[in-house]
């Protein structure tokens, strides 16, 4: 198999991994330009300082000894298998970088051998890029669960980000759909990465020349809809991962079957609206100060289809509102639908020098169509009170695609306390 074929195959095999946020790209050179088209294998991701970078996204190998039911590369799948050599990947990365196709590399792999051996191969690619090629671009490496601690620590010295995919929200679902995977190994790797990252931060505070461990932190991917867990279970797990292991991002990936399997549901379309609601809730956890338990206070354990989780919370807490924009704290302002962190900061900054009017709020980027139901100015509500159904209808969020699906009761949460 020539290198081009290998690249097409191993880029296609990698496209199901959402832990490096991806959007397809087919950049071509213009007249007089150099290089060939890249029909697959380029995705976009965000660095620790918020820059968007394009990455060559490939697997080292799509051979895998595991048989995860949801995965296109599972051992029982009848697909062409291929593996890169380290030098092939280095030369592809450097070539694409020179041609300005990519600014970095996202490298994952099937578990084609012992986890230590697979991890060593991934590290070797990153090491050659950094040490021999002087490559300073972004590198995202997959952490292979079950590999040794020393290897994960070494990976973090070459990679900007490392991700260990948890894939399923409970140990019960892992045992059913990914029987060779171990929740304890996955969480153990995450814990180790979290510890290494915080040790490196502390060392760097004492000695600035200390090499940073995976400066863009760690991320993971959760598949949504392959197993019966509800949104409450998934949000609780995500919150625990952020809190306990310092993850930077949890990515949610709407499930679509790659092959019929009696253990898997057979949706006609991926649950994109559900995925979208989970991303919205994730945002509330990370930037708005919500606790996972606050997002599901009643009997509900799945997000509403018609409104987003923040509006749901607001409608469920009428006594909290109206929030007075002239007096409220930052945390209170963040609870108002239509007010984000930047808007809340602008309100705080501007009211110290003058009194606020609703026109000022609009100019600050506050979404008054939603916020006006929940805000007051110097004790005067921005809008006349209305029945909850009327407010709910006006808050309806029609933008995301797909349909929400009902979910049965959650199975037991993955055990986060292990050694
Ligand atoms: S370990 Fe499972 S999810 Fe990962 S490549 Fe192998 S079969 Fe796919």
Taking only the tens place, the pLDDT of each residue in 150-161 is 999 999 999 999
Ligand 1 centre to CA of 165 (Å) is: 10
Instruction: State the chain's mean pLDDT as an integer.
Output: 86
pLDDT at residue 279 tops 50:
yes
State how far the Cα of 293 lies from the Cα of 333, in Å rounded to an integer: 20
State how far the Cα of 176 lies from the Cα of 416, in Å rounded to an integer: 19
pLDDT digits (tens, 9 = 90+) for 238-268: 999 999 999 999 999 999 888 889 999 998 8
Name the helix (H) or strand (E) containing 387.
none
pLDDT of residue 326: 93
State how far the Cα of 171 lies from the Cα of 139, in Å rounded to an integer: 30
Confidence class of residue 12 from pLDDT cuts 50, 70 and 90?
A: confident
State how far the Cα of 138 lies from the Cα of 182, in Å rounded to an integer: 29
Ligand 1 centre to CA of 71 (Å) is: 6
* Nearest ligand 1 atom to alpha carbon 167: 3
Confidence class of residue 415 from pLDDT cuts 50, 70 and 90?
A: very low
Confidence class of residue 78 from pLDDT cuts 50, 70 and 90?
A: very high
Confidence class of residue 315 from pLDDT cuts 50, 70 and 90?
A: very high
pLDDT of residue 300: 85
pLDDT at residue 407 tops 50:
no
Ligand 1 centre to CA of 181 (Å) is: 9
Q: Count how many Cα atoms sit within 13 Å of the Cα of residue 410 in the half-sphere of its side chain.
A: 21
Sign of CA dihedral 202, 141, 93, 29: negative
Name the helix (H) or strand (E) containing 273.
helix 272-287
State how far the Cα of 104 lies from the Cα of 55, in Å rounded to an integer: 5
Confidence class of residue 337 from pLDDT cuts 50, 70 and 90?
A: very high
- How far out from the chain centre does Cα 121 lie? 25
Phi, psi of 377 (to 5 degrees): -125, 115
Ligand 1: lining residues by beta carbon, under 6 Å: 64, 66, 68, 71, 73-74, 110-111, 178
State how far the Cα of 168 lies from the Cα of 145, in Å rounded to an integer: 14
* Nearest ligand 1 atom to alpha carbon 73: 8
Q: Where are the domains of the chain?
A: 3-221, 309-395
* Nearest ligand 1 atom to alpha carbon 109: 5
pLDDT of residue 338: 95
Q: 154 is written with which tokens?
A: 């070494």
Q: Which of 2-11, 112-121, 176-185, 383-392 has the lowest mean pLDDT?
A: 2-11
pLDDT at residue 223 tops 80:
yes
Q: 266 is written with which tokens?
A: 């057979």
Ligand 1 centre to CA of 176 (Å) is: 14
Nearest CA among 108, 101, 103 for reference residue 16: 108
Name the helix (H) or strand (E) containing 251.
strand 249-254
* Average pLDDT score over residue span 35-57: 61
Ligand 1 centre to CA of 74 (Å) is: 6
Between β-strands 161-163 and 52-59, what pairing exists: parallel, antiparallel or unpaired? unpaired
pLDDT of residue 212: 87
pLDDT at residue 412 tops 50:
no
Between 408 and 366, the more confident residue is: 366
Q: 219 is written with which tokens?
A: 């991320």
pLDDT at residue 323 tops 50:
yes
pLDDT of residue 38: 41
The topology (CATH level 3) of 3-221 is: TIM Barrel (3.20.20)
* Average pLDDT score over residue span 95-111: 91
Share of the chain above pLDDT 70, in %: 86
* Nearest ligand 1 atom to alpha carbon 65: 6
pLDDT at residue 416 tops 60:
no
pLDDT at residue 31 tops 50:
no
State how far the Cα of 142 lies from the Cα of 156, in Å rounded to an integer: 10
pLDDT at residue 281 tops 90:
yes
Beta strand extents in 255-294 (DSSP E only): none
pLDDT of residue 121: 98
- With tokens 């379309």, the residue in question is 269
Q: Is there a contact between 44 and 23 (Cβ–Cβ < 8 Å)? A: yes
Q: Whose CA is nearest to atom 1 of ligand 1?
A: 66
Q: Is there a contact between 234 and 262 (Cβ–Cβ < 8 Å)? A: no
Spatial neighbors of 18 by CB under 8 A, at least 6 apart, are 221, 251, 252, 253
* Average pLDDT score over residue span 20-38: 39
pLDDT at residue 34 tops 80:
no
Ligand 1 centre to CA of 255 (Å) is: 15
State how far the Cα of 363 lies from the Cα of 378, in Å rounded to an integer: 18
pLDDT of residue 214: 93
pLDDT at residue 215 tops 80:
yes
Q: Which of 4-8, 22-26, 123-127 has the highest mean pLDDT?
A: 123-127
Between 299 and 23, the more confident residue is: 299
What is the DSSP code string of 37-81? Answer: ---SSEEEEE-TTS-EEEEEEEESB---S---TT-TT-TTS----
pLDDT at residue 283 tops 60:
yes
* Average pLDDT score over residue span 338-343: 95
b (16+ CB within 10 A) / e for 70-83:
bbebbbeeeeebbb
pLDDT of residue 11: 82
């Amino acid at each position: 198999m020539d290198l081009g074929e290998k690249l097409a195959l191993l880029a296609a095999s990698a496209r199901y991994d959402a832990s490096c946020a991806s959007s397809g790209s087919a950049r071509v050179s213009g007249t007089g330009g150099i290089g060939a088209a890249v029909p697959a294998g380029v995705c976009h991701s965000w660095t620790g300082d918020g820059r968007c970078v394009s990455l060559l996204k490939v697997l080292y190998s799509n051979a895998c000894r595991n048989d995860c039911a949801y995965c296109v590369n599972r051992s029982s799948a009848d697909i062409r298998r291929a593996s890169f050599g380290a030098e092939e990947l280095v030369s592809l990365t450097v070539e694409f970088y020179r041609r300005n196709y990519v600014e970095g590399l996202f490298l994952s792999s099937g578990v084609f051998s012992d986890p230590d051996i697979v991890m060593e191969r991934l590290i070797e690619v990153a090491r050659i890029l950094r040490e021999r090629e002087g490559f300073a671009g972004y590198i995202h490496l997959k952490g292979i669960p079950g590999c040794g601690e020393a290897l994960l620590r070494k990976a973090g010295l070459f990679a900007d980000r490392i991700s260990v995919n948890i894939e399923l929200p409970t140990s019960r679902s892992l045992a059913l759909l990914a029987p060779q995977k171990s929740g304890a190994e996955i969480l153990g790797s995450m814990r180790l990465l979290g510890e290494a990252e915080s040790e490196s931060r502390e060392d760097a505070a004492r000695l600035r020349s200390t090499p940073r461990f995976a400066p863009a932190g760690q991320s993971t991917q959760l598949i949504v809809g392959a197993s019966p867990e509800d949104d409450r279970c998934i949000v609780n797990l995500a919150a625990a991962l952020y809190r306990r292991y310092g993850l930077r991002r949890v990515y949610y990936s709407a499930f679509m079957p790659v092959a019929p399997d009696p253990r898997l549901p057979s949706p006609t379309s991926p649950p994109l609206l559900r995925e979208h609601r989970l991303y919205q809730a994730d945002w509330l956890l990370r930037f708005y100060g919500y606790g996972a338990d606050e997002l599901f206070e009643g009997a509900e354990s799945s997000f509403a289809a018609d409104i987003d989780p923040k509006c749901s919370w607001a409608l469920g807490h009428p006594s909290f509102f109206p929030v007075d924009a002239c007096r409220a704290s930052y945390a209170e302002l963040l609870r108002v639908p239509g007010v984000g962190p930047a808007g809340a900061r602008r309100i705080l900054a501007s009211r110290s020098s003058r009194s606020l009017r609703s026109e000022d709020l609009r100019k600050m980027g506050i979404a008054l169509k939603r916020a006006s139901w929940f805000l007051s100015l110097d004790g005067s509500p921005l809008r006349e009170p209305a029945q909850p159904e009327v407010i709910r209808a006006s808050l309806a969020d029609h933008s995301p695609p797909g349909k929400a699906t009902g979910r049965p009761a959650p199975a037991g949460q993955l055990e986060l306390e292990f050694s």
